[in-house]
Amino acid sequence: MSGLRSPPMVDQRKLIKDCLKNNPVAQKQLYELFAETMLGICYRYTKSMHDAQEVLQVGFIKVFKNLHQYKQEGELGGWIRRIMVTTAINYLKRKPHYQLDLAFEDSYLHPVEQNQPDLNLNMKDILNLVRQLPPGYQTIFNLVAIEGYTHVETGKLLGIKESTSRSQYLRARALLIGWMGKHSVNDKKNNYGG
């Protein structure tokens, strides 16, 4: 979870204390310390940079409103990250163009094959493929695979059954594996003139 820690030269305790006093300079400094990283997190859950920026702004309003609840146990960046993830999920639930994609079905999923293609992709390629998933799959994949939420936690956060979270995650994973295989094959053809 690199990028979540503030630079060592910043006295976090003093910064938080000043933010709690509604000091605009301290609030700006806190925002600037984490905004870039948190925007990336917000963008992973949305389908546009405009939506991600909206989530970021609402998320930081919540950060400043609830900063008194931060117990200074664990990383401040991790605490802010959880707020951003929750804000992103709530944003998706409220917006009509995301609501249909978050209507999860309970249905049987055939097992995913263990034959995984020989992949030759970098992290940027993989994250771009994750962004191409339908919003529901993308949301669950992000929560489980990237944020580290359990299926129980994901289910509670999204208001779905644990089994639905598992099946949607497996579907997302199967789609990604298929896309990665095609992407990797296309790269090999391009590299070898095929």
The average pLDDT across 60-69 equals 97
Q: Over 70: is that where the pLDDT of 1 sits?
A: no
CATH number of 104-192: 1.10.10.10
Q: How confident is the model at residue 106 (pLDDT cuts 50, 70, 90)?
A: very low
B/e letters for 119-156, b = 16+ CB within 10 Å, e = fewer, are: eeeeeebeeebbeebebbbbbbbbbbeebebebeebbe
Q: Which two tokens stand for residue 152?
A: 């129980």
CB 82 within 8 A of CB 1: no
Residue 100: predicted pLDDT: 54
Q: How confident is the model at residue 161 (pLDDT cuts 50, 70, 90)?
A: very high
* Residue 190 CB burial class (10 angstroms; 0-12, 13-18, ≥19): exposed
Residue 61: predicted pLDDT: 97
Residue 107 dihedral angles phi and psi, to the nearest 5°: -150, 160
Q: Where are the domains of the chain?
A: 12-99, 104-192
Instruction: Quickly list DSSP for 135-191.
Output: HHHHHHHIIIIIS---HHHHHHHHTS-HHHHHHHHHHHHHHHHHHHHHHHHHHHHHH
Q: Over 80: is that where the pLDDT of 84 sits?
A: yes
Q: How confident is the model at residue 118 (pLDDT cuts 50, 70, 90)?
A: very low
Find, among 194, 193, 138, the residue nearest to 168 by Cα.
Answer: 138
Chain mean pLDDT for the chain: 82
For residue 103, give every residue at least 6 positions away whose Cβ sits within 8 Å of its Cβ, in sequence order, or none: 136
Q: From CA 80, how far away is CA 88, in angstroms rounded?
A: 12
Which element (helix H / strand E) includes 30? Answer: helix 24-45
Give 12-99's CATH code, choosing from 3.10.129.10, 2.40.30.170, 1.10.1740.10, 2.60.40.1260: 1.10.1740.10
Residue 187: predicted pLDDT: 53
Instruction: Flag the least confident range among 33-47, 79-93, 97-111.
Output: 97-111
CB 26 within 8 A of CB 18: yes
Q: Over 50: is that where the pLDDT of 24 sits?
A: yes
Q: Over 60: is that where the pLDDT of 7 sits?
A: no
Q: Over 60: is that where the pLDDT of 63 sits?
A: yes
The average pLDDT across 15-24 equals 96
For residue 54, give every residue at least 6 positions away whose Cβ sits within 8 Å of its Cβ, in sequence order, or none: 91
Question: What are the start-end ranges of the E strands in the chain?
Answer: none
- pTM score, whole prediction: 0.73
The average pLDDT across 119-128 equals 69
Measured in Å, how far apart are the chain's first and last C-alpha atoms? 39
